[in-house]
Amino acid sequence: MRTIVWDVDDVLNELMRDWFERAWVPTHPACTIRYEGLSQNPPHELLGIDRDVYLSSLDSFRLSDEFSRMTPNGTLISWFKRSGHRFRHIALTATPIRCAPHSAAWVLRHFGDWMRTFAFVPSMRNSDPAFDYDRTKEDYLQWWGKADYFIDDNPGHVEAAQKLGVRAFLAPRPWNRAEGTLADILASLDGSL
């Protein structure tokens, strides 16, 4: 059985959209950018703020009830119900240590029928201790060595997985130049069996 490694934020869910529309815009009514205009991730320069201000706002959202109420990507839920049983699944996310339990709970609540493993690499914050291993998703994938497919919204993570020999897909988002749709990626997965 082949194994798919799924990014959580902005693949399984719509974290950036939900944070932006539910947390940022309501508290910054002068913001004229729409979600579709977030051509950079992180978007702090587009928003005219310091990176730490952005990260603090995003982390506050991750720790809020709004995060726990995020809905999963409907296209993925439909695919998992139809085809999820044909693969093994692992969630691999980059998130601050203090946010990881919330992310894990969200993943298991919505995808626990199919995902048996949740892993994370620390998205470092100034208050966090330094780590000697698994600083990146590439580090984790190389150590683990069992991924057949990898799906992420970050072009750098996708390129790193490809370098390791993993068939990797870039999930389309406003900040990357992915061609096609998520449905195209899922069709490729179905066609790989």
Position 6 pLDDT exceeds 80: yes
pLDDT tens digits for range 60-80? 999 999 999 999 999 999 999
Position 50 pLDDT exceeds 90: yes
Position 49 pLDDT exceeds 90: yes
3-state helix, strand, coil in the chain (%, to 5): 50, 15, 35
Report the pLDDT averaged over residues 2-17.
98
Provide the pLDDT for residue 110: 98
pLDDT tens digits for range 120-176? 998 988 777 777 788 899 999 999 999 999 999 999 999 999 999 999 999 999 999
Provide the pLDDT for residue 83: 97
Beta-carbon contacts of 119 under 8 Å, excluding residues fewer than 6 positions away, are 90, 91, 92, 93, 140, 144
Q: For 8-23, give one letter per residue: b (16+ CB within 10 A) or e.
A: bbbbbbbbbbbbbebb
Residue 150 sits at the vertex; the CA angle it makes with 133 and 129, to the nearest 5 degrees, is 25
Q: State the burial class of residue 172 (Cβ atoms within 10 Å of its Cβ: 0-12, 13-18, 19+).
A: middle
pLDDT tens digits for range 82-124? 999 999 999 999 999 999 999 999 999 999 999 999 999 989 8
Position 9 pLDDT exceeds 90: yes
User: What secondary structure, in 3-state letters, does 148-171 show?
Assistant: CEEEECCHHHHHHHHHCCCEEEEC
Report the pLDDT averaged over residues 17-36.
97
